[in-house]
Each structure stands twice: as C-alpha cells, then as structure tokens.
Structure 1
Amino acid sequence: MDAAPVVLITGSDLAAEAVAMLHGYQLVFAGKQPTEAQLIALCQQYNPVAILVRYGKIPAAVMDAAPALRVISKHGSGIDVIDQQAAAARNILVCSAPGANAAAVAEHTWALILACTKSVIALDARMQAGFWDKSTHKSVELEGRTLGLIGLGAIGSRVARAGNAFGMRVLAYDPYARELPPACEAVADMESLLAQADVVSLHCPLTASNHEMINSETLAKFKPGAILVNTARGGLINETALVEALTSGALHAAALDSFSVEPLAAPHRWQGIPNVILSPHIGGVSDASYIRMGTVAAQNILQVLQEHPLEAGVSP
C-alpha cells in the first residue's frame, strides 16, 4: 500500500479542526522556527505535495527540494515570506487566509495603542516598585485626536471603526481601497496623513515598493509627539531611524508586533528604550483565529490538490 502524500507544516502544531480536514495526508511538523536547511532536508526526505506555512520563509531552494510540491498555503494573510516569483516559475500555487485573523490583529492593535496612550506597562512597573503616581501622571486622551491608518483592508477597517467609537478623527491612506468605513476620511498621500495623525498604525502588506517606508525622512514628517504602531510587517520600518526618533523624543512612543528579523536576538536594539512596547508577532494569533487560519489554510490545500492532482509518473 502506497504511503499517504505528505503535507509539511512549518511549525510544531496545527488546530485539531485543520488536522482533521487533512486526514488523508501524512502530516510532518518541522518544529518551532525551522531553518531553511531543516526545511530542505525535510523536503528531500518526504517530498511533500503541499507546505502549510506557519513560521519561517519558503525560498526557491526549499521548493526545488520537493519535486511533488503543488501548493504552498500560508497560515495567515502575509505571503511575503514565500518567494512568489519562484513558485510561479515552478507552477506551484501560493494561497493565504485573508481576513482569518483580522479581528485578532485589530484587537491587538488597540491593545497596543491603549498601552501607549495610557502608560499601562510603565504605571504597572511603578506600582510594583511601590510608587503611587496619581498626582504626577497624565495619560493621553484619544477623544478628539486623529488616528492615521496606512492600509485599509480587513484589519485596517476594523481598527478604523474602533477609532470612531473612541471619538477619534480617522484618516486613511490606501490607494487600493475600494470603499471606506463610515466616518473615515481618505488622504491623497502618506505625507499628509503623517502630518496630521496623533496615532499612526500600519496595516499594509510588505512589498518591494514600500520596504522601509517608515524611515528617517518620513519620520521627520510625523506630528511631534505622535505614536507609531506596527502590527503588519517589520520590513515596513527602518528600525535604526525609529530608535533615533524614540530616543530623541520626536515620537511619544511606538508599539511593535513585527520586526525586520525574527525572532529577536538577545540582546537586541529595543532593550533599554522605555517608550517602546514589544510583542512577539502574536497579534494575529488568538483562540479563534488559530482555528480559522488553520482550517482556511487546510481548505486551500485540499482545493488545489483536487484541482491540480499529481501528474502520472510523479510520486510523492
């Protein structure tokens, strides 16, 4: 009896609902934060028909190690970790799960905005150290302030609606947006948004054209004392320039859930900067989104393999 075709999962776990959907396949887990060399070795060993991407990158070398590979399915919406040009050249379809984690990322965005404006972490640390800062501390009030969104897809639109609920003016820059949420104003260019926004939040995919679009030049156009939040992709920000803006006081604070190199090494550049809040790229992972991302990624694999079966003579 022939062995079941293999689906390689670049992680150590997958929602039980997604595992059940892939019952006809052998699932091989690559473990936490697999390296390119490890993925190549697993592809050479198992020759998977599909790769379900949780962590790490999928370059051409990984694809070449799996001749039977038909589909690469992202556990989430960001496919910049996959060499899409290489996949297209090899007739490998690339899929994602757009919107599956939109609620989770939008909620995490607001957790970070509120942590910055209300000094949640700093005040907790002072309380734990025995201080009572009631007579000296003043938080930033959001009502009447301006929220600037760069990117207005499923996540950005949710963040916009919450901004309205807080009584904020909401501006958005997204040349690809087809429609705006209620009470959201479009701006013609990013510079106009940066000059007006008290809080700037990034919600766009990472592309070659917007790599490090937040840099020393654009940071100089921010409103003095603004807050920057990034729950999108680390490559959107020049981290050296952001460190300078934070340490100089040009920005009030920043909150980052994504970084140019992940995971962060220790020590890293953000240690010792009191006005930055960090989380380990978990904005899109909640109890509910974990299931949605897994099941959509699995369904994408099943659909592609049904529509594009292996050619005769090619065995997984």
Structure 2
Amino acid sequence: MSNPALIVTGADLAQQALDLLKGFEIVYAGKTPTEADMVALCQKHDPVAIIVRYGAVGAKVMDAAPSLRVISKHGSGTDTIDKAAAQVRGIEVRAAVGANAAAVAEQALALLLACAKSVVHLNTRMHAGHWDKATHKSIELHGRTIGLVGLGAIGQRFARMCDAMGMKVIGFDPFAKNLPDHIQSVDLETIWRESDAISLHCPLTPENRGMVNAQTLAQCKKGVIVVNTARGGLVNEADLLAAVQSRQVFAAGLDSFAVEPMTAPHPFHNAPHIILSPHIGGVTSDAYINMGVGAARNVLDVLAQATA
C-alpha cells in the first residue's frame, strides 16, 4: 500500500520537517504554482495534506482532493487559504504560529531603525563621496511612542525590542489577552493619533484591508514612520506614497506589498524615504527550519486526531 500524499506549494522543505514526514509521499508544486497546477496535482495524487509556502489554496483545489484533511501554513499568515471553504469541507487550517516570530520582529526593527536613522540615504551619499555630518539629523527613538497593530507572537516580540530601546509601546489587538506591562492596550484611533511610529503585525482580513490610507494617515502626527512586515493589503499604497511625498509620513519601511512579486515599474521604485525588502522578514535559515517543522507537526497532529 502506497504512502499518503502530501503536497508542498514550494520547491523544498527543511530536512528536519521531512524527517517528521517520512510516512508521506512528498509532492512539490514549485515556487509559483497556479490554481490549475494545484488542481492537476490534487487530481493526480489526492493528498491528505497540503503545506502552503507559496500561492493560494481555494475551493477548486480542495474539491480536487477528496482525501484532504489539513492545510498547514509554512508560516503564520493564512490569508492565502480560503478558510471558509475549508470549514465547509471539514478541512482544518493550521498555522505555524510563532515559528518565524524572531525573524520577522528583527526585520521590523531593522526597517524602523533604517527609517529613523536614514541608513539607506546616508549610505548612498557616502558612497557618492559626500560627508553630511554638518547638515543631517536622525530621529532618536528613545522616549518616542511606537504603535503596534497586532499583538501576536511577532508583535509582542517586537514590542520587547522597542521597550528595551526606551520607547513607549502602545498596541491594538482585540484578541490579545494577558499583555505584559510594557504594552499599553489602546484603540485604533489612539494608535493613529499618538504614535511617532506605527508597525503592522496583524493578519489581513476583509475588515482591515487598506486600513493605512489617506484618512488614517491624516490623523497621525506629522513625520510619523510606518513599518509593514505583515501583509501588503493592509496598506493603500497610493495613499502611503502621497503621504511620504507630502512629508506627513517621514519614512516607510515595507516588507510586504499588495501584489507580490512587486511589479516593475512600481510607484515605490526610486521613491525617496521608502525602504523596501522583498517579503523576506521570515526568511532566515532558522525560521525556515522552524516553519517547516511547525507545519509538519500541525499536519501530523490533525491527522492523528482524525484517526483517533
């Protein structure tokens, strides 16, 4: 009897995860699987599980896999999985919660510091032979207020970093419980009104899509810093660009975008005061292992419950 199939929407999986999944036939869909690719693979292999690294998994894919019992995200964000369709079909959706928390929080800190200290601009000027010591002033973060939207594993880890730098940390998350003393829970209006810097750490939902927009940015302090290492859809990109150009926003550090990979040319390209990275906040060697192992354990856990 052949081993049950497990499809990975990617080209690889950490060896530590593969060691946990020795009882499965692992099928790789590649780094850019289309819906048609996934439907064809599901029809051919009828997987009991899918580990999602790249691309989306919707109802058509689920319907092509009658034996499917679990869709396990290789990471923390499940917005690319149609959770409503999964629930109707009795398919459990799991995320590797916290597996990339350290990596993403560090990326958020890197972007925050790069914005506040003009790291990219000054590097470019230095390489061009300039010495701007007499004219440049950076922003000191000590004593400033950082507003966090989303206080899960990543948001709370980032909050500890900001607290260690002497920042006042305020945060909004209607689902967060038992927050540590260094995080003051507030509503969204307070985030916009009081923050010197805002960092997004929440999942993308229909309710918060485009939450950073012309209206909310206008409520912010002039010269606010915006950091997004969560999901690109949280930000209205045209509105953010306009706010940076008007200097309502001092600088933005972005690791996620409305369309990925980012299309070229893009309005953000060569825009001053916007620092970009290609959604690599969770891409470290350690996080790669942690996410793979977390995704594999979620698969095994759900399937064990199904057979219990």
Superposition map of 1:1-316 within 5 A: 2-187=1-186, 189-309=187-307
Rounded Cα–Cα distance in structure 1 between residues aligned with 2:282 and 2:88: 30
Partner amino acid for 1:178? K
TM-score w.r.t. the length of structure 1 is 0.94
Rounded Cα–Cα distance in structure 1 between residues aligned with 2:211 and 2:49: 33
Partner amino acid for 2:195? A
Moved more, 177-186 or 199-208: 177-186
Deviation at 1:44, TM superposition (A): 1.8
Partner amino acid for 2:88? A
Rounded Cα–Cα distance in structure 1 between residues aligned with 2:46 and 2:121: 50
Partner amino acid for 1:254? A
**What SS is found at the alignment partner of 2:303?**
helix
Rounded Cα–Cα distance in structure 2 between residues aligned with 1:218 and 1:71: 38
TM-score w.r.t. the length of structure 2 is 0.96
Partner amino acid for 2:138? S
Partner amino acid for 1:121? V
Partner amino acid for 1:305? L
Deviation at 1:196, TM superposition (A): 1.1
Deviation at 1:115, TM superposition (A): 0.6
Partner amino acid for 1:25? F
1:10-65 residue CA offsets vs partner (Å, 9 max, x unmatched)? 01111110011111111111111222221112112222111000011101111111
**What SS is found at the alignment partner of 2:269?**
coil
Rounded Cα–Cα distance in structure 1 between residues aligned with 2:240 and 2:247: 11
Rounded Cα–Cα distance in structure 1 between residues aligned with 2:241 and 2:168: 28
Partner amino acid for 1:274? P
1:56-87 residue CA offsets vs partner (Å, 9 max, x unmatched)? 11011111111221110001111111001101
Deviation at 1:3, TM superposition (A): 2.5
**What SS is found at the alignment partner of 2:190?**
helix
**What SS is found at the alignment partner of 1:295?**
helix
**What SS is found at the alignment partner of 2:205?**
coil
Partner amino acid for 1:73? S
Q: Percent identity?
A: 57
Rounded Cα–Cα distance in structure 2 between residues aligned with 1:113 and 1:221: 20
Deviation at 1:181, TM superposition (A): 2.2
Partner amino acid for 2:220? F
- Cα-Cα RMSD: 1.4
1:152-184 residue CA offsets vs partner (Å, 9 max, x unmatched)? 111111111111111111111222221222322
Rounded Cα–Cα distance in structure 2 between residues aligned with 1:124 and 1:37: 45
Partner amino acid for 1:224? K
Match of 1:313 in 2: none
Deviation at 1:233, TM superposition (A): 1.1
Rounded Cα–Cα distance in structure 1 between residues aligned with 2:196 and 2:72: 37
**What SS is found at the alignment partner of 2:135?**
coil
Contact 1:160–1:181 under 8 Å retained in 2: no
Rounded Cα–Cα distance in structure 2 between residues aligned with 1:3 and 1:9: 18
Rounded Cα–Cα distance in structure 1 between residues aligned with 2:135 and 2:54: 44
Contact 1:202–1:232 under 8 Å retained in 2: yes
Aligned positions, number: 308
**What SS is found at the alignment partner of 2:198?**
strand
Deviation at 1:97, TM superposition (A): 0.8
**What SS is found at the alignment partner of 1:308?**
helix
**What SS is found at the alignment partner of 2:225?**
strand
Rounded Cα–Cα distance in structure 2 between residues aligned with 1:160 and 1:4: 44
Partner amino acid for 1:140? I
**What SS is found at the alignment partner of 2:108?**
helix
Deviation at 1:146, TM superposition (A): 0.9
Deviation at 1:307, TM superposition (A): 2.4
Partner amino acid for 1:304? V
Contact 1:199–1:228 under 8 Å retained in 2: yes
Deviation at 1:250, TM superposition (A): 1.1
Partner amino acid for 1:118? K
Rounded Cα–Cα distance in structure 2 between residues aligned with 1:154 and 1:181: 12
Deviation at 1:122, TM superposition (A): 1.1
Partner amino acid for 1:250? Q
**What SS is found at the alignment partner of 1:95?**
strand
